[in-house]
Each structure stands twice: as C-alpha cells, then as structure tokens.
Structure 1
Amino acid sequence: MFRQNVAALIKFKDKYVACFRSDHSTWQNVQGGIEDSDKSPLKAIIRETKEELGLEENDFKIIYQSKYWRRYFFPKEILKKERFKGNIGQEQLWFLIELKNFNSINLEKSVGEFQKVDLFDIERFLETYSKWKKPGFYDFCRELGVIKY
C-alpha cells in the first residue's frame, strides 16, 4: 500500500527552498503524510508547511497543484520505521508555493525535521535531492516547465 502524501516546491524569487533533513542528511522539500484531521490535500500541505518551516499561512501563497499523484517506493531502511509499517512507499500530490519573504522561515518554531534551509536554483536542487525521491520531484518540475530535459 502507498501512504498518501503531499509535497511542495517552494519558490522565492528565482530560487527554490531546499531543506536539509535532521535524520538522514539529505536535501528535499516540505512533504508529509495526509492525516485524518486534514480535510483535503490542500489543507495537508498548508499544515506541513507550517509544521516543517515554522511559517504562518499568510507567509506563502499556493499557486499550483499538480495534475496527478506520483509514487515512489521506500528504501529498506525506511521500511523498517514503525510509522511507515504496512506501506511500501508514498503517493504524492505536489504543490508549487510562492514564499513572500525567505526570512519568515523559522526552524525554531518547526517540528525539527530540518536542520537548515537554503535557496537553490532548480538544477542544483535536482542534483542534491534525495536519490529515492528524485523521480517524482523531477517529474513535477517537468510538469511545471521549470526544466526542459
């Protein structure tokens, strides 16, 4: 079974917010499972953005929702984690979010999933992105037209 999940590519000016994980030292974006309390994937990505970056809803604007869900499989080390028990991977719905002010990110108000954030151009973000999650991210970037290859 695939766990339902939302993910966000967060844009600030001509760069994208890259988040460095606290637990397995890889760069990725805001993402997370859709919880029973979420009324929709849109509500889930708003919650995740607030939880993971310490942002308030008025600090960002959702400007696009992907046309379809994307799947990836968990590597063996992730399959061992209790919170993912019974799932072989995640099915993600992606969003493009525009951040109004990069300095509004406050990791001290977040849940601690990320130890730092930075602004990357899309090519650098793709190069450094978590290997097993990269195909879905790459595909969403192609859907947006931010990459052509």
Structure 2
Amino acid sequence: MFRENVAALIKCNNMFLACNRTDHNMWQNVQGGVEKFDKSLRHAIIRETVEELGVKEEDFKITYQSKFWRRYYFPKEILKRDRFKGNLGQEQMWFLLELNDIKSIHLEKSAGEFKKVKLLNIGEFLSIYSEWKLASFYDFCREINLIKE
C-alpha cells in the first residue's frame, strides 16, 4: 500500500526552494500526507505549504498540477516509524508553486519539519536531493520541462 501524498516544487525569483529536514538532514521539497479532512489535493498542498514553511496562503500561488501520480518506496529506517506502518512508500501528486518572496518564510512559526531553506537552481537542487525520493522529483522536473534530455 502507498500513502497518498502531495509535494510542491516552489519557485521564487527563478530559483527553487530546497528544504533541509530536522529529522534526517536531507534536502527535499514541501510535501505531506493527504488527510481525510482535506477537501481536495489543492487544499492539501496549500495546508502543507503553510504548515511546513510558516507562510500565509496569500504568499504563494499554485501554477501547475502534475498530470499523474508518482510513487517511491520508503527505505528500511522510515518503514520502522509508526506513522508509516502498513505503507511501502508514498504516491505523490506534484504541484508547482510560485512564492512571492523568500522573506515570507518563517520556520519558527512552522510545524518544525525543516531547520533551514535555501534557493538553488534546479541542477544544484537535484544534486543534493534526498536519494530515495529523487526519481519522483526528477520525473516531475521533466514533466514541466526543467530538464531537457
């Protein structure tokens, strides 16, 4: 079984927001599980962005939603966590968001998932991205033409 999840690639000033996790020191995007109370996938990604970055909804906008879901498998150390029991990994719906200003991020007001953020070009971001989630992220970047092959 795969846990339903939303993920956001966040663009700001022609760069992309990389988020460094507090629990395992990996770089990734804003993402999170879709909850029963979420009215839609768009509602879920707005909620996750507000919770994880300490921003207000008016600080960003959704500019694109992926055409399809992507899956990745959890590594063994993640599978041991209670909140992921019964799941092999996550099935993600990706969104592209535009953040008005990086100064609108207030991690001290967030849920505490990230300890720092930085803006990178897409190549730099891909080079430091959490390895076990990378294929999903890379594939979304291809869908929105950030990577040419």
- TM-score of Structure 1 vs Structure 2, range by shorter chain: over 0.9
- Write the mapping of 1:66-85 to structure 2, written as runs, cut at 5 A: 66-85=66-85
How far apart in 1 are the matches of 2:40 and 2:86? 22
Match of 2:124 in 1: 124
Equivalent AA in structure 2 for residue 76 of structure 1:
K
Match of 1:140 in 2: 140
1:48-83 deviation digits (Å, cap 9, x = unpaired): 000000011000010000000000000000000000
How much does 1:14 deviate? 1.1
Match of 1:63 in 2: 63
Match of 1:20 in 2: 20
Identity %: 66
Please tell me whether residue 88 in structure 1 is matched to residue 88 in structure 2: yes
How much does 1:13 deviate? 1.4
Structure 1 unaligned runs (5+)? none
Structure 1 moving runs of 4+ over 4 Å: none
Equivalent AA in structure 2 for residue 46 of structure 1:
I
Match of 2:111 in 1: 111
Over the aligned positions, Cα root-mean-square deviation in angstroms equals 0.4
Equivalent AA in structure 2 for residue 144 of structure 1:
I
How far apart in 2 are the matches of 1:14 and 1:59? 16
How far apart in 2 are the matches of 1:133 and 1:17? 16
How far apart in 1 are the matches of 2:108 and 2:18? 17
How far apart in 2 are the matches of 1:67 and 1:110? 29
Structure 2 unaligned runs (5+)? none
How far apart in 2 are the matches of 1:108 and 1:13? 23
Secondary structure in structure 1 of the residue aligned to 2:46: helix
Equivalent AA in structure 1 for residue 123 of structure 2:
E
Normalising by structure 2, report the TM-score: 0.99
* Aligned residue-pair number: 149
1:10-54 deviation digits (Å, cap 9, x = unpaired): 000110000000000010000000001101110000000000000
How much does 1:125 deviate? 0.3
Match of 2:46 in 1: 46
How far apart in 2 are the matches of 1:14 and 1:46? 21
